[in-house]
């Protein structure tokens, strides 16, 4: 899947040092580093590997976050392109927050990553860290490249985070653009995924029928799939979607969401219909 992604033009891969922890010891980063080092596809040299550094309770000094970035860079084969704070400690350990911001600046100053970013930052917290990095640490405004938030038809600009990012020149990276699969059009009240998702979907899907019907209508007219329509909607909003894949078939479907654009009318209609259904709950670490 990695090789096929690069061959098809994908140049950005997102992971985190908390993915595959415990006995696997940040296995996700190790695998991505290996995949990139062995990738035979043209364009591998232009790939950006981005990781998210978890604000673990023991990371209480700037140097500890810088050290975490060095460890991630080593696991990624020396190809760390962007280091991000996985979430803000502002909701539960505000005294830790300034050290994390300083560590992020230290990562940039040390040249460990070309860009730095954050995740799950609300508008006020995003403005604060941008002001700190530029005014107090002297980083260029473009150094803070992104804010990764839950963003989809069912999570439209949570708390105004994307609007704040747009004003600051910070790109919104949209995680969960398909809302755990709710927006793929593959599930119904009689066809549910296994496990806890099935229980959740059984409650949510009845209210989503008008939106899913509209996705199917637009998809049919454009010879696309409902999932491709949902992903393209995030692109049309100016966000940068990241989508998980489990097999090559899913990869091929997701890549079918790029290279075209919904019309302004289609975007407006999808936005309006989605706004009338219940929006998803935000990540518990999402700040104001």
User: Mean pLDDT across the stretch 176-200?
Assistant: 90
As a whole-number percent, the residues of the chain with pLDDT over 70 amount to 99
Q: Quote the crossing angle between the two packed helices 62-75 and 94-109, to the nearest 10°.
A: 50
The whole domain housing 47 covers: 2-181+238-259
CA distance linking residue 211 with residue 276, whole number of Å: 9
Closest residue by Cα to residue 148 from 122, 124, 109: 122
pTM of the model: 0.94
H-type alpha helices, 169-263: 196-222, 226-236, 248-255
pLDDT at 20: 83
In a domain, 213, yes or no: no
Least confident span in 14-18, 61-65, 196-200? 196-200
List Cβ neighbours of 259 (8 Å cut-off, separation of 6 or more): none
- The CATH number linked to 177 is 3.20.20.100
84 belongs to a structural domain: yes
Q: Whole-angstrom Cα distance, residue 118 to residue 120?
A: 7
Percentage above 90 pLDDT, the chain: 86
Dist. CA 95–CA 77, nearest whole Å: 33
224 within a domain of the structure (yes/no): no
Q: How many domains does the chain have?
A: 1
| 123-162 residue pLDDT tens | 999 999 999 999 999 999 999 999 999 999 999 988 899 9
- Tell me whether residue 190 is in a domain: no
At 287, is the secondary structure helix, strand, or coil? Answer: coil
Residue where the block lists tokens 């993915």: 19
- Cα gap 109→61, rounded to integer Å: 16
- pLDDT for the residue 51: 98
In a domain, 12, yes or no: yes
Secondary structure letter of residue 46 according to DSSP: G
Residue 61 placed within a domain: yes
Q: What is the chain's mean pLDDT, rounded?
A: 95
Contact 144/118 with Cβ under 8 angstroms? yes
Active-site positions read 19
Going by their DSSP bridges, the two strands 48-53 and 144-150 should be labelled as unpaired
DSSP summary character for residue 182: G
127 falls within a domain: yes
- 229 within a domain of the structure (yes/no): no
């Amino acid at each position: 899947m990695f090789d096929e992604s690069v061959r098809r033009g994908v140049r950005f891969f997102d992971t985190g040092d908390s993915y595959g922890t415990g006995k696997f010891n940040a296995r996700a980063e190790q695998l991505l580093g290996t995949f990139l080092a062995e990738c035979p596809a043209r364009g591998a040299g232009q790939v950006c590997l981005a990781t998210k550094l978890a604000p673990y309770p023991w990371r209480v000094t700037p140097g500890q976050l810088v050290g975490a970035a060095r460890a991630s860079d080593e696991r990624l084969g020396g190809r760390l392109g962007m280091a991000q704070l996985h979430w803000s400690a502002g909701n539960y350990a505000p005294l830790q927050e300034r050290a994390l911001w300083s560590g992020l600046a230290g990562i940039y100053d040390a040249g460990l990553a070309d860009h730095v970013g954050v995740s799950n930052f609300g508008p006020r917290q995003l403005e604060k860290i941008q002001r700190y990095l530029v005014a107090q640490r002297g980083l260029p405004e473009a150094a803070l490249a992104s804010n990764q938030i839950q963003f989809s038809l069912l999570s439209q600009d949570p708390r105004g985070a994307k609007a704040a990012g747009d004003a600051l020149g910070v790109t919104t990276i949209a995680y969960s653009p398909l809302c755990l699969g709710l927006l793929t059009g593959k599930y119904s009240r009689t066809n549910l995924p296994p496990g806890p998702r099935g229980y959740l979907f059984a409650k949510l899907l009845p209210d989503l029928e008008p939106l899913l019907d509209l996705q199917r209508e637009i998809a049919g007219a454009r010879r696309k799939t409902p999932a491709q329509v949902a992903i393209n909607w995030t692109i049309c909003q100016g966000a940068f979607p990241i989508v998980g894949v489990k097999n090559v078939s899913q990869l091929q479907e997701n890549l079918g969401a790029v290279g075209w654009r919904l019309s302004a009318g289609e975007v407006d209609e999808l936005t309006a219909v989605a706004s009338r259904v219940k929006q998803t709950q935000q990540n518990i670490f999402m700040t104001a």
